[in-house]
Amino acid sequence: MFPCKYCAERFTALSARGLTQHHRKCQAFLKHEAEANQRRKTTVASKKIRQTKLRARVKLDDRKARLGSAAPGVSFFLNR
């Protein structure tokens, strides 16, 4: 037996395929999936913002280190 844990009426399917077919119509399951997708999108967006800020800070620190370590009038490039 395969119970739908999102339904208030506790639908039970006889097979996994039946449960999958039920989930296509189950409003409680669809609502749960929509909320989960929204949480994933929010997490990804905040991660991208943090990475962008970190990259900007690393670039600034790197540039300061290159400018501060060279003798006046001497320039050099870092190979990565």
What residue ranges do the domains of the chain occupy? 2-69
Give Cβ neighbours of residue 80 (< 8 Å, ≥ 6 apart): none
Q: Are 28 and 47 in contact (CB under 8 A)?
A: no
pTM: 0.56
Query: Given this model, what pLDDT does residue 56 score?
Result: 79
- For residue range 52-63, what is the model confidence (pLDDT) as tens digits? 888 877 776 676
